[in-house]
Structure 1
Amino acid sequence: MAVSLGIPLIRAAEPAPAEVPQDGPLVDRYGRAHRDLRISLTDRCSLRCTYCMPVTGVPWLPKDTLLTTDELVRVAEVSASLGIVEMRLTGGEPLLRPDVVTVVRRLAAIETEAGRMRVSITTNGLALPKMMDDLVDAGLERLNVSIDTLDREKYRDLTRRDRLDDALEGIRAARASGLRPLKLNAVAMRGVNDDELRDLLRFAVEHEAELRFIEQMPLDAGHTWRRDAMVEGEEILAELRREFSLERVAGRGASPAEVFAVDGGPATVGVIASVTAPFCGACDRVRLTADGQIRNCLFAREESDLRAVLRDEALDEPGRDAAIARIIRGSIAAKRPGHGIDEPGFLQPQRPMSAIGG
Structure 2
Amino acid sequence: MTAIPVTIGMPRTGVRDLPLPAALRAAAVDPGATIGDPLVDTHGRVHRDLRISLTDRCSLRCTYCMPEQGNEWLARSSILALDEIERIARVAAADGITTFRLTGGEPLLRTDIVEVVRRLAAISGPAGPVEIAMTTNGIRLPELLPGLVEAGLGRLNVSIDTLRRDRFHALTRRDRLDDVLAGIAAAAASGLRPLKLNAVAMRDVNDDELVELVEFAIGCGAQLRFIEQMPLDAGHTWDRARMVTRDEILATLSARWSLTPVAGRGGAPAERWTLDGGPHTVGVIASVTAPFCGDCDRLRLTADGQLRNCLFSTTEYDLVPVLRGASGGGEDVAIDAMLRSCVHGKLPGHAINDPSFLQPARGMNAIGG
- TM-score scaled to structure 2, two decimals? 0.93
> What is the correspondence of 1:54-203 to structure 2 with a 5 Å cutoff?
54-203=67-216
Identity of aligned residues (%): 62
**Letter of the structure 1 residue corresponding to residue 314 of structure 2:** R
> What is the correspondence of 1:300-311 to structure 2 with a 5 Å cutoff?
300-311=313-324
1:146 CA displacement: 0.2
1:9 CA displacement: 6.4
1:18 CA displacement: 7.8
**Letter of the structure 2 residue corresponding to residue 98 of structure 1:** T
Q: 1:18 to 1:105 in 2, by over 3 A?
A: closer
CA contact (8 A) 2:27 2:337 kept: no
Q: Matches of 2:47 and 2:259 in 1, distance apart?
A: 31
More divergent stretch after superposition (277-286 vs 241-250) = 241-250
Q: 1:229 to 1:264 in 2, by over 3 A?
A: same
Whether 1:38 aligns to 2:40 is no
Aligned length: 354
Q: Matches of 1:122 and 1:31 in 2, distance apart?
A: 28
1:343 CA displacement: 1.2
Q: 1:27 to 1:268 in 2, by over 3 A?
A: same
1:17 CA displacement: 5.4
1:97-155, Cα deviation, whole Å (9 max, x unpaired): 00000000000000111211100100000000001100000000000000000000000
Determine the structure 1 residue equivalent to 2:19: none
Q: Matches of 1:19 and 1:176 in 2, distance apart?
A: 47
Q: Matches of 1:287 and 1:303 in 2, distance apart?
A: 10
Determine the structure 1 residue equivalent to 2:65: 52
1:30-84, Cα deviation, whole Å (9 max, x unpaired): 0000000000000000000000010000000011111000001000001011110
CA contact (8 A) 1:4 1:61 kept: no
Q: 1:161 to 1:3 in 2, by over 3 A?
A: farther
Q: Matches of 2:91 and 2:49 in 1, distance apart?
A: 13
2:344 to 333, 337, 351: 333
Q: 1:105 to 1:345 in 2, by over 3 A?
A: same
Q: 1:10 to 1:298 in 2, by over 3 A?
A: farther
1:10 CA displacement: 7.8
1:162-218, Cα deviation, whole Å (9 max, x unpaired): 000000000000000000000000000001000000000000011100110000000
Q: Matches of 1:11 and 1:246 in 2, distance apart?
A: 51
Determine the structure 1 residue equivalent to 2:18: none
Q: Matches of 1:4 and 1:311 in 2, distance apart?
A: 21
Whether 1:220 aligns to 2:233 is yes
Whether 1:349 aligns to 2:360 is yes
Q: Matches of 2:28 and 2:160 in 1, distance apart?
A: 46
1:245 CA displacement: 1.2
CA contact (8 A) 1:2 1:9 kept: no
RMSD across aligned positions (CA): 2.0
